[in-house]
Structure 1
Amino acid sequence: MKQIYAFAEGNMEMRALLGGKGASLAEMTNLGLPVPPGFTITTAACHSYQTNHGLSDDLLQELDTHLTALEQATGKQFDDQTSPLLVSVRSGAPISMPGMMDTILNIGLNDQTVVALAKLTNDPRFAYDSYRRLLAMFGNVVYGLSEKAFDDVLTTMKRDKGYASDLDLTTTDLQAIIASFKQLYEQAGKTFPQAPKDQMLAAIAAVFESWNNHRAVIYRRENQIPEDLGTAVNIQTMVFGNAGEDSGTGVAFTRDPATGERALFGEYLLNAQGEDVVSGVRTPQPVAVLQAQMPAVYDQLATIATKLEQHYRDMQDLEFTIEHGHFYLLQARNGKRTPAAAVKIAVDLVNEGLINQHEAILRVAPKSISDMLHPEFDPDVLAAHTVLATGLPASPGAASGEVYFTAADAKTAHDAGHQVILMRQDTSPEDIEGMIVSQAIVTARGGMTSHAAVVARGMGATGVVGMHALSVDEHAKTATVGSTVLHEGDWVSVDGTTGNLYRGQITTTAAMVKESLATLLTWAKDASRMAVFTNADTPKDLEQALASGADGIGLTRTEHMFFQPERLLQMRRLILAKDAAGRKTPLQALEKMQEQDFYELYRLANGKAVLIRLLDPPLHEFLPHDSREISEVAQDLGLEQNQLRERMAALKEVNPMLGHRGDRLAVTFPDIYEMQVRAMMHAVFRLADEGMKVTPHIMIPLTNSETELIWVRKLVTDQIKQLVATKGIKVDYEVGTMIETPRACITADKIANAADFFSFGTNDLTQLTFGYSRDDVGSFLPDYLSKGILPADPFQTVDTEGVGAFMQMAVEKGRATKPQLTIGVCGEVGGDPDSVTFFNQIGVSYVSCSPYRVPVARLAAAQATLRAEKQTKQPS
């Protein structure tokens, strides 16, 4: 089987085999763009390497053939003393994993060819600078030598010589650094191979090995990238951005990756190689400056950027090198971008005619939408804070947290429950674990295309880079800004939109849906089969949800309306009463409060459906829990403490979540449900008098059987009929039930006879299916997840094999009785994109989620519909 492809032999459709980078290099070569020649070793060769723990003889034979062809194409040869061939060895997985795997530049240099390169270019400094880079990268990637050890040699040399930057190093300095680098090899018992072929083989093996390095594994887990893809290896002729002031290297985006604005965006460095830009060791210049320094090169970059964006129909991330004024393209890929930029770019590409609305919907990750709706700093509170320092706004958002100066410390603090800000001099791929858990990432060095900036944007984290006034000392665990010293654990606040850093914690306000997102969500609504409702118990919840485009309320939890002090007092009087007569007065007080609650929700909904669940939880949740509360409640209610304790003991249940709750309350305390129905209907009558028609949707919780639902439904409808008759008007209404137990799923065909709609309560259904108490899973669930016993928290992402099977059964049985039965989901998983996909598959009518997750669910529902339609259209 062919394991190596010259760039001219591939294309973009071969991504799985050639990796994203290899497929892109092939595509660009065939488009006639200035790509240095080379070839790609396939992901299949990676799989072979991992299976056989080595490079196969067949691969080595193919490698010789392609090396010979590359030497003929370039007129250069490996280990040649006149015109040596130098190559880069780069990783390239099918799915982009920026910075997570390894790269080695300048393969082919040794003690002899460095002299040859110096003579050939008439630039000894350039030759030895390239050699010292190879030694450092090779030692770190192949032998695992500390990157810091190599950096320390450079830092010491610059300090001793009084140099400001690497560019000040002379040829003699670089030769001394090379000698010191070789000593680091010797101290580790290693030898740098002088044979270029040996260098290449070791580099290829190291890139294959890097597929399973710690940071790559963490990145794949965080981004749900399959473990079995493997990586390709790209061998490419070197072009040199460090060949003088007419050379350089840079990264450019065809649109701003932070905002999505349509303009060439990026950075470059003169007299540098690619790692200098992404590492943040030197602060680059905006790519716009290149227009003044090298106008012809800039025009070529701009032309190619436009061509590639139109070719790929998406924003592109370009890596380029300039060698003595000649422009070369090293990579093009779909650029990482912030969630806000992703939405704007998708909408703009539709308006520009490059993609259609359905493509735009499918291009934005639903989970990323929640990052756009995170709170922003309260402007009034912000005005009272002084800016400590300002850097480059790499990834928008607002975040407060305790500052930590190493990735390990940040992760430890996060795992202990702290809200973390990671502050570094600059970041490297090794910091990925700390970056993942941080609310914000701040670096003293680096530009808008540095590692920290790219990763922050990709994760949707707040990010500020290049904060030059900041000096971080990770060993002392401090950071200094002027006379201000920040210590580990100090609170800071970071504004990724302005680049400002503040001391202390700053309160936030809710973010609003921006114009581009509103447009995308409108398209998503048109494309969706499922509706998206919200869980809302207060007018504030509903206002937020309606602003996000909710179709109505899928769940109002009336028990949440009783926890305000005045209401809680009446609720306790109700619960502690010994008979119906004792419950009468508190019920009257609660009815007035409930009527106003329902009136406000119906009024705000303005004709949209509002599903109100009658009282569900165990009564013990409303009772006092400790001696202090018992004393206060006894005094409020005019009881002796002993009397209160006796009543509490009488109400105590061994397992209250499985006890006296839901429609069991209706059977034993029918006056509670009657009160709630009266309050609901009086709210409906008030709105009718104001000219608004409301159709009440009344939801009965925790039903287990048809007989049970018939009994409770009659209790509800008798009240409605009495009230309507008294008022003398016609009111349409629906009475449905929550499907929350395995028995309800199994007997759903019978329950449907008495139900106008179903709504799955997935929290209880999950609890009862697994036998897990949802209040106590914290004691064992983390271990189950880390050990792979569970693929995900079943209370956050639906368990399709167990809970999902019950749900599918209930859908099929319910609709066998009533084909048009409306069926919703109102548990926590209603806003989880993976769960929404499953609900679409089994025919759920709508999902209901928290107000802030409405846009997430909307986009997920649209994507589920579009993907299902695509599958249906595909030939079998």
Structure 2
Amino acid sequence: MQQENPHITFITPGAPVATATHGGRAKCLQRLVRLDLPVPPTVALSFDEVHRIASGQMPDMADLLAPLDVAHLLCVRPSSEDPDWGGPGAVLNIGMNDQRYAELCERIGETAARSIYARFIQSYSINVARLDPDMFDDLDMDDPEICQQALEAYEDEAEEAFPQDPAVQLSGVLRSMARAWEGTSARLLRQAKGAPADAGLGLVVQEMALGLGHGECGSGVLQLVNSTTGMPQITGRYLSQSQGRDALRSGAEALFLEKDPRGSSLEEKAPEAFEDLKVHAALMREKLREEMQIEFTIENGAVHILDGVRVQRSSRAAVRIAVQLAKDGIIPKQEAVMRVEPRALNELLHRQVDPEAERDVIGTGVAASPGAATGRIVFSAAEAQASAARSEACVLVRRETTPEDIRGMHAASAVLTERGGITSHAAVIGRGLGLPCVVGASSIRFQMRKKMLIAPDGRQFREGDVITIDGSEGEILAGAPDMVEAALDDAFQTLMAWADDERDIGVRANADTPADAKTARNFMAQGIGLCRTEHMFFEPGRLTVMREMIFADAPEDRRSALEQLLPMQRADFIELFRIMQGQPVCIRLFDPPLHEFLPTDRSGLRDLAEALNLPLSDVTRRVEALGEYNPMLGMRGVRLGITVPEIYDMQARAIFEATIEASRDGDAVVPEIMIPLVSAKREVELVKTRVDAVAAAVRTEQGEDFDYRLGVMVETPRAALRAEDIAPHCHFFSFGTNDLTQMTYGLSRDDAGRFMSAYVHQGVYPEDPFHTLDADGVGELLLLGAERGRDAQPDLTLSVCGEHGGSPESIAFCRKAGMDYVSCSPFRVPVARLAAAQLSIQDKVG
């Protein structure tokens, strides 16, 4: 075999080995050889060679074995391009036969030799000859005659003698592993992990360091950090008289590595070998620029490095590892920022189900808001509030949530709904509150009258039963599995500071309440990009007044009711301005249809009639009259502001009076007022005229001046298409991509979840357009709106304030479209900050 052979290559420092052709394991072994580490001689087979083996074209075995010492047993390990894609299991002790057994009995003792031979027969039978594993069930692996018994069992089952030629054994192993990789089930499994359908497999053939014999022998793994926290800590296991990864086997009597009061350690048993391992690990960390796990064997006190793999890590550990590598000067800060997956930050920001915990899944739905929480089932917002008053965690279960459920959502630990998609009411509010949420859980039967959930397997869960909502995975679990707490430590703060140094697009938060604003401020949002004022009206003391306004017939009566709401709104805005002192706050004027503030059930109507001192029949008729066939396309947003102008007048006055008050004890506040659901220039003109009039009146009454900015929420296709007409009247456009997607597609964002998974699975849409911005369709409207708006108003500020603002893929589009900032739920702000930084770094390095 030629050393330069690109397909069957003896691994030397200069051999033609690459991750893209031979896999990550082969390339890592070459790097370890270059570091002059004690790696056993190894031959690497390329993806192409393994593919030929799978098709029946075997290599010249004498040529393959030429650089390896025939006195050593061999092992074969898989080498895929990405270790996460998996591969067939390693096969050890190839070359073991009757002759080698006799030799090893002399050299390392009969017990160790017998163990090696028996294990190889068993492994070869199952993995290569594909014999029934049950054939070994009745054999005692400690029996002195086990080898003979295993050979006889093989011959009976295979109807041929066990192969004694090492070359024949190796051929069988290579063929078996190659064909296993190209099998249908293996291909589907790795595709589920993100591998391309044609992903290749390399194989490495390595001389064995036995790990059994006289003196101190064994095998184990070692790493220099804790996989969960990322903190410096020598972790791993070592097992005397063992091979491969036996030390990690459940129930193995493995030793600790460092001295430990709980038991014996490798440091005590073989101090020189332990010291060598630490030195090797530190060198690998520095030269490979990564935290690595060493797989090693000790043979008569001498260390052999069999493999090095990237340390498995939690998201919390990934952040700390990247930051520490940068602080130690091993990688630059920009690379540390690039090494952390933005969505992985969700695990740091929210409690999660412990990865090691057992999961009793009773149903699935759309993973609408990340994190996990456990609580007792409740079926109404009132019950959730009562549960919170008793300090009992609860899960609010609804067919779908409405604005009336807001207080119940605040009180609950998690939310579960039967209907809805990624931008439904429960999903949007859940993300804003940092509340774990699963929506569209149609696999579970919701029996609201009986206050019962029925799982697909028939199990019943009633009010008061404990369940867990995993909003990261979209799963509903029975009981209370162990949790991992959120962790925003110093490493997280450092990484985010480095990210902010790199990004070139602003990140604001959607925040409706002071609590939301505080969360946004804690996550370093650059202001509030969307404050939905209607959520402020659902407080118990305000809802009745709001209903009085709705039932008023004359403008004077409406104004009288709204005067009661004015001081409440003003107090809300003062608190928001003070929390976000020095940062912009964009307030969207009242948007939803009025019917959302009215009850729908008989008891609610009766309570309302009593509160308003009106006959039940009058209240029922008025509620029915306010109903609309399609309320989301009816009298809402700017249409309501024009037909019932007293609402916007009150809100404008509350904003301006709060501006003056908040500016007295801090930086001058410049509020941004946003008109929702605009589709025509005249709508903006009418609202702007009234807002300007209110501003002039407040200036006169207060004797103080102030500035404000007026803009529109571009969420109808016509607004984007006619942006040049609208822009001259505005300071900013904020694209509301939730409704814009809904209207562009003609999809209900609350109902699309019922069929969206089928659409994505069958390739109708590449992704759920409510989850990832549709760059081709909706994106074209954004580009048109941005271009035409800035043509008419060059200094027009542009942003996206829909839920897409927190999606890394959507942020990439927003940067290219020239948006000044994106706005997203408070708990998605760190995700957006990191994603924006990575996009900027990618552009800089090309």
TM-score band w.r.t. shorter chain = 0.7 to 0.9
Shift of 1:601: 0.6
Indicate whether 1:538 and 2:537 are aligned.
no
Instruction: Return closer, same or farther for 1:639/1:258 CA change in 2, 3 Å cut-off.
Output: same
Deviations 1:105-124 (A, max 9, x none): 222334x3453453453423
Aligned equivalents of 1:739, 1:415: Cα separation in 2: 30
Matched residue, 1:366: 342
Partner of residue 117 from structure 2, selected from 113, 131, 146? 131
Partner of residue 794 from structure 1, selected from 755, 758, 769? 769
Aligned equivalents of 1:191, 1:635: Cα separation in 2: 92
Aligned equivalents of 2:136, 2:578: Cα separation in 1: 66
Question: TM-score, normalization: structure 2?
Answer: 0.80
Partner of residue 32 from structure 1, selected from 30, 33, 36? 36
Opposite residue 78 of structure 2, the aligned amino acid is S
Instruction: Return closer, same or farther for 1:315/1:190 CA change in 2, 3 Å cut-off.
Output: farther
Opposite residue 815 of structure 1, the aligned amino acid is R
Instruction: Return closer, same or farther for 1:419/1:542 CA change in 2, 3 Å cut-off.
Output: closer
Instruction: Return closer, same or farther for 1:335/1:267 CA change in 2, 3 Å cut-off.
Output: same
Partner of residue 66 from structure 1, selected from 64, 75, 80? 64
Instruction: Return closer, same or farther for 1:285/1:850 CA change in 2, 3 Å cut-off.
Output: farther
| Structure with greater proportional helix content | 1
Aligned equivalents of 1:131, 1:260: Cα separation in 2: 40
Instruction: Return closer, same or farther for 1:685/1:823 CA change in 2, 3 Å cut-off.
Output: same
Indicate whether 1:841 and 2:816 are aligned.
yes
Instruction: Return closer, same or farther for 1:194/1:800 CA change in 2, 3 Å cut-off.
Output: farther
Matched residue, 1:567: 542
SS for the counterpart of 1:297 is helix
Aligned equivalents of 2:802, 2:517: Cα separation in 1: 17
Opposite residue 91 of structure 1, the aligned amino acid is P
Aligned equivalents of 1:153, 1:736: Cα separation in 2: 79
Check the 8 A contact 1:400/1:493 in 2, yes or no. no
Instruction: Return closer, same or farther for 1:315/1:643 CA change in 2, 3 Å cut-off.
Output: same
Check the 8 A contact 2:353/2:482 in 1, yes or no. no
Check the 8 A contact 1:251/1:266 in 2, yes or no. yes
Check the 8 A contact 1:361/1:863 in 2, yes or no. yes
Structure 2, gaps ≥5 residues long: 259-264, 375-413, 415-435, 437-463, 470-477
Instruction: Return closer, same or farther for 1:782/1:647 CA change in 2, 3 Å cut-off.
Output: same
Matched residue, 2:76: 89
SS for the counterpart of 1:327 is strand
Matched residue, 1:357: 333
Check the 8 A contact 1:244/1:271 in 2, yes or no. no
Partner of residue 323 from structure 2, selected from 347, 351, 367? 347
Aligned equivalents of 1:12, 1:342: Cα separation in 2: 31
SS for the counterpart of 1:287 is coil
Shift of 1:195: 4.6
SS for the counterpart of 2:81 is coil
Check the 8 A contact 1:831/1:857 in 2, yes or no. yes
Aligned equivalents of 1:742, 1:535: Cα separation in 2: 22
Indicate whether 1:577 and 2:552 are aligned.
yes
Aligned equivalents of 1:190, 1:493: Cα separation in 2: 55
Partner of residue 172 from structure 1, selected from 138, 145, 149? 145
Deviations 1:527-562 (A, max 9, x none): 110121111111111112211211111111111112
Alignment of 1:94-133 (within 5 A): 94-97=81-84, 101-110=88-97, 112-119=98-105, 121-133=107-119
Aligned equivalents of 1:726, 1:263: Cα separation in 2: 66
Check the 8 A contact 1:245/1:271 in 2, yes or no. no
Instruction: Return closer, same or farther for 1:342/1:829 CA change in 2, 3 Å cut-off.
Output: same
Opposite residue 837 of structure 2, the aligned amino acid is A
Matched residue, 1:272: 242
Matched residue, 2:696: 721
Instruction: Return closer, same or farther for 1:852/1:124 CA change in 2, 3 Å cut-off.
Output: same
Structure 1, gaps ≥5 residues long: 77-82, 158-165, 376-396, 405-409, 422-438, 440-460, 462-488, 495-502, 872-876
SS for the counterpart of 1:264 is strand
Deviations 1:163-206 (A, max 9, x none): xxx8xx354356546655776x55xx998655544443343344
Instruction: Return closer, same or farther for 1:548/1:12 CA change in 2, 3 Å cut-off.
Output: farther
SS for the counterpart of 2:710 is strand
Deviations 1:255-286 (A, max 9, x none): 22222223432222111122323443415332
Instruction: Return closer, same or farther for 1:511/1:546 CA change in 2, 3 Å cut-off.
Output: farther
Indicate whether 1:239 and 2:218 are aligned.
no
Indicate whether 1:54 and 2:55 are aligned.
yes
Instruction: Return closer, same or farther for 1:331/1:508 CA change in 2, 3 Å cut-off.
Output: closer
Check the 8 A contact 1:94/1:231 in 2, yes or no. yes
Matched residue, 2:439: none
Matched residue, 1:311: 287
Shift of 1:524: 0.7
Aligned equivalents of 2:573, 2:280: Cα separation in 1: 60
Alignment of 1:396-475 (within 5 A): 404=359, 410=360, 413-414=363-364
Aligned equivalents of 1:262, 1:24: Cα separation in 2: 23
Deviations 1:556-595 (A, max 9, x none): 1111112222222222222233332332232112222111
Deviations 1:79-112 (A, max 9, x none): xxxx4x53222112222227554322222334x3
Check the 8 A contact 1:9/1:26 in 2, yes or no. yes
Question: TM-score, normalization: structure 1?
Answer: 0.78
Check the 8 A contact 1:553/1:611 in 2, yes or no. yes
Instruction: Return closer, same or farther for 1:284/1:819 CA change in 2, 3 Å cut-off.
Output: farther
Instruction: Return closer, same or farther for 1:121/1:652 CA change in 2, 3 Å cut-off.
Output: same
Instruction: Return closer, same or farther for 1:132/1:556 CA change in 2, 3 Å cut-off.
Output: farther
Aligned equivalents of 1:640, 1:138: Cα separation in 2: 85
RMSD of aligned C-alpha atoms?
3.4
Deviations 1:795-853 (A, max 9, x none): 12222222223223323333333344322222222222222233223222212222222
Opposite residue 199 of structure 2, the aligned amino acid is L
Instruction: Return closer, same or farther for 1:828/1:570 CA change in 2, 3 Å cut-off.
Output: same
SS for the counterpart of 1:329 is strand
Indicate whether 1:298 and 2:302 are aligned.
no
Instruction: Return closer, same or farther for 1:280/1:177 CA change in 2, 3 Å cut-off.
Output: farther
Opposite residue 310 of structure 2, the aligned amino acid is N
Check the 8 A contact 2:93/2:116 in 1, yes or no. yes
Deviations 1:474-514 (A, max 9, x none): xxxxxxxxxxxxxxx996999xxxxxxxx974999984621
Aligned equivalents of 1:333, 1:401: Cα separation in 2: 21
Indicate whether 1:735 and 2:698 are aligned.
no
Check the 8 A contact 1:403/1:420 in 2, yes or no. no
Opposite residue 254 of structure 2, the aligned amino acid is P
- Of the structure 1 ranges 842-851 and 194-203, higher mean CA displacement relative to structure 2 is found in 194-203
Opposite residue 350 of structure 2, the aligned amino acid is H
Matched residue, 1:646: 621
Deviations 1:590-620 (A, max 9, x none): 2221111111111100111111111112222
Check the 8 A contact 1:118/1:125 in 2, yes or no. no
Shift of 1:688: 2.6
- Of the structure 1 ranges 763-772 and 722-731, higher mean CA displacement relative to structure 2 is found in 722-731
- Of the structure 1 ranges 562-571 and 2-11, higher mean CA displacement relative to structure 2 is found in 2-11
